[in-house]
Amino acid sequence: MIFRKLVPEDKALFDKYKNKSSQYSEASFVTLYIWDKYYNLHLCEEDTFLYIRFTIDGKNQYLFPMGEGDVKGALCKVMNLEDKINLRFVTDNQKAFIEENFPGEFDFTLREDLCDYVYETEKLISFSGKKLHGKKNHVNFFEKNYAYTYESVTDEVAISECRPLLLKWVDEKTKNLNPIEYDAMEKVFGNYKLFNLTGGVIRVDGEIVAMSFGERLTDDTVLVQIEKAREDIRGAYPMMCKLFLENEWKDTTFVNREEDMGIEGLRKAKESYCPIFKTLKYQGKRV
């Protein structure tokens, strides 16, 4: 098997093989590719399957083979690449398949830091119910105190306004822009047309104060990959969440807002929106 480096144009190839019913964020080429500086991604297309390899800290890890046909045979090919093969982002169904077809050959560890948070679209538009009352209060405050407008993002606005502003916000928050996050944002906006993302912004007095970008993951699920807002404007984050879904994704049932990466503050923020479930992900290591 010959692996080669991933390039942006591989999105079409990836989309050909991906599981179109998967609610996992790794079913998105964009989500994987923009973090390539960390993942060091390579792919191999062979015999109706697509194989993805990560190299993190000098160690290889692999996605479960993507495609239809002899899945067991495809997995055997991966297992033959290395003695102690390591599988990343293993789903519940994939874990069950491996345990049935290769009993006792893998140890699995639940990676809670990588599990995606999934919500009901309607709930994040209305913020109805007692649990989301706090979010509703923030939205009400924003509506009463700011003269705002919402607009869908054009390619021109994404590149000329959103890109530099987003990098500025991230840098202000971290005080020293994370090179991996910087590279991810550059990949998003450097390939914005090719990636076919949908974006939205909120302006107050003509100035962008919040932005969000995402894509359709399945027929009924939207994946939100970027959501940023001014920290000093109360209600900007929940208002951005509400308006982005209301204007761009009202036809969906679910919203995947990705994982918390094991960051405590991010975990609390994602839990505060009351997910209905999390997509469980496992690390699988051959014993």
| CATH domain 117-258 topology | Aminopeptidase (3.40.630)
Q: Which residues contact 228 (CB under 8 A, 6 or more apart)?
A: 166, 169, 170, 210, 211, 212
- Name the region of 31 (left: φ>0; alpha: ψ -120 to 50; beta: rest): alpha
Q: Contact, 10 vs 266, CB < 8 A?
A: no
- pLDDT value at position 179? 82
By the 8 A CB rule, do 78 and 65 touch? yes
What fold is seen in the domain 4-114?
Aminopeptidase (3.40.630)
Q: Could you tell me which of 45, 44, 74 has the C-alpha nearest to residue 60?
A: 44
User: Any idea what DSSP says for residue 23?
Assistant: -
Spans in the chain with pLDDT lower than 70: 175-177
User: What pTM does this model have?
Assistant: 0.94
Predicted local distance difference test score (pLDDT) of residue 176: 67
- Show the tokens assigned to 112: 């809670």
What's the confidence (pLDDT) of residue 210?
97
Residue type, 214: G
Cα 245 to its chain centre, rounded Å, is 16
163-174 helix and 179-190 helix, angle to the nearest 10 degrees: 170
Q: Which two tokens stand for residue 165?
A: 């502003």
Contacts of 253 (CB under 8 A, 6+ apart): 120, 121, 122, 220, 221
Sign of CA dihedral 128, 131, 135, 140: positive
CB 203 within 8 A of CB 209: yes
**What ranges do the domains of the chain cover?**
4-114, 117-258
User: Are both 4-114 and 117-258 of the same fold?
Assistant: yes
